[in-house]
Structure 1
Amino acid sequence: MTMSASYLCPRCGARSSVSALTWRCRECQGPWDLDYRAAPVSLASLSGRTGSLWRYEEALPLSDPHCSLGEGRTPLVRLTDTVSAKLDFLMPTLSFKDRGAVMLAELARRLAPRRVIADSSGNAGTAMAAYCARAGLDCAVYVPEGTSPKKLEQIRAHGARLVVVPGDREAAARAAREAAGEPGTFYASHVFNPYFLHGTKTYVYELWEDLGGRLPDTLVVPVGNGTLLLGAALATAELYEHGLIRSRPALVAVQAEAVAPLAEAFRAGADELTASAPVRPTLAEGIAIPDPPRARQILRAVRESGGTFLTVTEAQIRTAQLDLAARGLFVESTGVACWAAISAAPRTGSAVVPLCGAGAKTGLAAR
């Protein structure tokens, strides 16, 4: 394991060794960043490398993986003259969460804890269950009641212990965090552990490679806890710093209108979340997060990129899912949010949207 990396708290500057099972800052209770400097990736060197996200080894804080399932290198297909879609639902567990889950499972494998726990609305849980099975790790996944039965079945199939928590997504997170304090526990939090973000950043490295060493003008990204957006921000910063792109693309963050705390804070010009609003039911369950721990980082990343926030209605989500299905792409309702947003509010120049989860996980949105 690359032991030169260490956990760093972006709020108060506290540090912790990566080898310690400290899942958040002990001083201010905030999520960790990773004090790690990626090396530049040579576009010319990629020919002949492994056909997974591990081909960008210079940019990753771990190398020589033992629990890879071949994740990454998903197709990029054109939807319109200016908008392309990256088919991240074509992953081993059928969602983009595999990018970060493999990093957490690989880290846990090397730390050899007594058990791994995770919390999720479904996709991160299925990914962690699969990669922990691959790594031979005992795993428990906390999910809120109301999680898609198909996702619950997938978690059980991988051998993880399923803990269904009464209440919403936040209730499941609280239960998992309480359990994370038990000795010998590795909390595989896709929100608090920065290794997950260094996995999701490979989404952008793949775009950079597929587009011949450039990026689109706009990256449209769904945002709940912001793990894909923050990974994208990491990658664009690294590529720009290494002189591998001339400018950074705008980050356009998409939330469901029913649960849009970040969009509301952005429009208010706030650096943190504004007063919490009532959470309404939404088809986009994967991004229905009322209080994301990395809110300040997400808002800053969008502003610094020159991007913005867009919100979509439930009707737009339904329409977008049917539209993509008519194009041959059956995507779960959360995963169509970006296509719904960019269809309603087109951007100038080129744009890429991620199709993050397979429709087989949830079925067709109720009309």
Structure 2
Amino acid sequence: MADLPGYICPRDGRSSAVAELAWRCPDCGSPWDLAFTAAGVDHETLPARVLSLWRYAEALPLADPMISFGEGRTPLVPITGRVSVKLDFLMPTLSFKDRGAVMLLEAARRAEPERVIADSSGNAGTAVAAYAARAGLPCAIFVPAATSAKKVEQVRAHGAEVMIIDGDREATARAAKQAADRPGTFYASHVYNPYFLHGTKTYAYEIWEDLGRRLPEVIVVPAGNGTLVLGVALAVAELVDHGLIDRTPPIVAVQAEAVSPLARAHAEGLAEVSPGYATSAETITEGIAIAEPARSAQILAAIHNSGGDIVTVTDSEVRAAQRDLAGRGFYVEATAAACWAAVRHAEAEPDDRLGWALLRERELVVPLCGAGLKTGLA
């Protein structure tokens, strides 16, 4: 499959073809990176291109998709003098995860597996289920027992089998990994598979285009498994490498206070989150409640190298932010309100730590990642 870039291990350099269906490096267990180098986007021709994320063809590892729903190109809407929101909840399955899922399932379609599986707290699962249906691939989605009933309903509506796991997000991931080792199985993991990250990076490409070929002073994103953090970091590096921007904006990641292993590791100067370092706790921000993110070393490095920081917000702050957004006309789920909660906290509290100062003083774009219809108000 010459048109399907293969995997490469960032730790030991081992490579693997996508069709081999190895979901991680068999030597060290690391998540894969992609053996792909993006070309510079020809911004002069962008106005005439397709109105989807596929308009950034030079930067994408796949061309000529057969399963696209027209995802991407979501609106960027100012809400204060220095803050805009990007409406990624207006995607086909109502979350930003469509950006990665379309890339991931297009790769799966070309690899021709017998089945696709994924694990998710909801949004990634619904996206994978929808795109698997479009690709004509049998699909099973593993979800924690506490997953929103509306998200489970959506997964089933797309024809996927739902495997409900009696446990937290980590228990669900362990169950899916066991199933992923079955022959003929493509593990459509938004964490382990790098095709997903090359889809989420289009979030930053769209902001760059909409702001007149520049990025905001600070990029703020929610962080659980870190797929949006790493997608943004990929895009920024590519834009800098090709001379399309001249600076790297700091990334401020937002975690739930109840489940914040990345924030703790960053504050302590650690290079990664070790197994057992953090414990799970209940939070309304189910989409970022990840106690042991598999790509923690890459996430922490991306934030550190950008000159950014990690901040945390409480459930009560997220509830207030979700209702504030609804009062402004944006009906989003709790996880999608986490970054707005952080901005509100920064403006209300006299805290001069780096992350809070960046959120209080600089131009920002806040991602609204998932629709409120999936969960209702927290």
The corresponding residue for 1:302 is 303
Amino acid in structure 1 at the alignment position of 2:344: S
Give the RMSD, CA atoms, in angstroms: 1.1
CA drift of 1:35 comes to: 1.8
Q: C-alpha separation between the residues in 1 aligned to 2:62 and 2:377?
A: 38
CA drift of 1:272 comes to: 1.4
CA drift of 1:48 comes to: 1.7
Q: C-alpha separation between the residues in 2 aligned to 1:278 and 1:338?
A: 22
Q: C-alpha separation between the residues in 1 aligned to 2:313 and 2:199?
A: 27
Matches for 1:225-304 after TM superposition, within 5 Å: 225-273=225-273, 276-304=277-305
CA drift of 1:294 comes to: 0.2
Q: 1 or 2, which has the higher helix percentage?
A: 2
Q: C-alpha separation between the residues in 1 aligned to 2:241 and 2:257?
A: 35
**Which of residues 356, 361, 365 is equivalent to 2:374?**
361
Amino acid in structure 2 at the alignment position of 1:357: G
Does residue 349 of structure 2 align to residue 349 of structure 1? no
Q: C-alpha separation between the residues in 1 aligned to 2:9 and 2:147?
A: 32
Does residue 34 of structure 2 align to residue 21 of structure 1? no
Amino acid in structure 1 at the alignment position of 2:337: V
Task: Between 281-290 and 17-26, report the one with greater CA deviation.
Answer: 17-26
Structure 2 contact 74–90 (Cα < 8 Å) conserved: yes
Task: Quickly say closer, same or farther: Cα 1:146–1:198, change in 2 above 3 A.
Answer: same
Structure 1 contact 71–98 (Cα < 8 Å) conserved: yes
What secondary structure is seen at the aligned counterpart in 2 of 1:232? helix
Q: C-alpha separation between the residues in 1 aligned to 2:4 and 2:225?
A: 27
The corresponding residue for 1:58 is 58
Which ranges of structure 2 fall in alignment gaps of 5 or more residues? 347-358
Does residue 159 of structure 2 align to residue 159 of structure 1? yes
Q: C-alpha separation between the residues in 2 aligned to 1:141 and 1:17?
A: 24
Q: C-alpha separation between the residues in 1 aligned to 2:232 and 2:63?
A: 20
TM-score when scaled to structure 1?
Answer: 0.98
Matches for 1:112-123 after TM superposition, within 5 Å: 112-123=112-123
- CA displacement 1:302-351 (0-9 Å, x = unmatched): 00000000100111001000100000001100010001012212332211
The corresponding residue for 2:198 is 198
Structure 1 contact 32–194 (Cα < 8 Å) conserved: yes
Matches for 1:98-113 after TM superposition, within 5 Å: 98-113=98-113
Structure 2 contact 222–253 (Cα < 8 Å) conserved: yes
Q: C-alpha separation between the residues in 2 aligned to 1:160 and 1:350?
A: 41
What secondary structure is seen at the aligned counterpart in 2 of 1:292? coil
Q: C-alpha separation between the residues in 2 aligned to 1:169 and 1:119?
A: 9
Q: C-alpha separation between the residues in 2 aligned to 1:4 and 1:135?
A: 16
What secondary structure is seen at the aligned counterpart in 1 of 2:189? coil
- CA displacement 1:168-195 (0-9 Å, x = unmatched): 1111111111001111110000000000
Structure 2 contact 85–368 (Cα < 8 Å) conserved: yes
The corresponding residue for 2:350 is none
CA drift of 1:2 comes to: 5.1
Q: C-alpha separation between the residues in 2 aligned to 1:229 and 1:2?
A: 29
Amino acid in structure 1 at the alignment position of 2:363: S
What secondary structure is seen at the aligned counterpart in 1 of 2:294? coil
Amino acid in structure 2 at the alignment position of 1:290: A
Structure 1 contact 4–36 (Cα < 8 Å) conserved: no
Structure 2 contact 4–62 (Cα < 8 Å) conserved: no
Task: Quickly say closer, same or farther: Cα 1:284–1:43, change in 2 above 3 A.
Answer: same
TM-score when scaled to structure 2?
Answer: 0.95
What secondary structure is seen at the aligned counterpart in 2 of 1:29? coil
Amino acid in structure 2 at the alignment position of 1:108: A
CA drift of 1:14 comes to: 1.5
CA drift of 1:4 comes to: 6.8
Matches for 1:148-227 after TM superposition, within 5 Å: 148-227=148-227
The corresponding residue for 2:128 is 128
Q: C-alpha separation between the residues in 1 aligned to 2:136 and 2:11?
A: 35
Structure 2 contact 250–308 (Cα < 8 Å) conserved: yes
Amino acid in structure 2 at the alignment position of 1:229: V
Task: Quickly say closer, same or farther: Cα 1:153–1:197, change in 2 above 3 A.
Answer: same
CA drift of 1:6 comes to: 2.4
Q: C-alpha separation between the residues in 1 aligned to 2:124 and 2:264?
A: 26
The corresponding residue for 2:355 is none
Structure 1 contact 240–246 (Cα < 8 Å) conserved: yes
Structure 2 contact 4–61 (Cα < 8 Å) conserved: no
What secondary structure is seen at the aligned counterpart in 2 of 1:237? helix
Amino acid in structure 2 at the alignment position of 1:291: E
Amino acid in structure 2 at the alignment position of 1:332: E
What secondary structure is seen at the aligned counterpart in 2 of 1:19? helix
Task: Between 343-352 and 213-222, report the one with greater CA deviation.
Answer: 343-352
What secondary structure is seen at the aligned counterpart in 1 of 2:186? strand
The corresponding residue for 1:44 is 44
Q: C-alpha separation between the residues in 2 aligned to 1:23 and 1:239?
A: 28
Q: Percent identity?
A: 64
The corresponding residue for 1:338 is 339
Q: C-alpha separation between the residues in 1 aligned to 2:329 and 2:3?
A: 45
- CA displacement 1:184-224 (0-9 Å, x = unmatched): 11000000000000000000000011111100011100000
Structure 1 contact 3–18 (Cα < 8 Å) conserved: no
Q: C-alpha separation between the residues in 2 aligned to 1:193 and 1:263?
A: 24
What secondary structure is seen at the aligned counterpart in 2 of 1:276? coil
Amino acid in structure 1 at the alignment position of 2:111: L
Q: C-alpha separation between the residues in 1 aligned to 2:136 and 2:17?
A: 24
The count of corresponding residues between Structure 1 and Structure 2 is 365
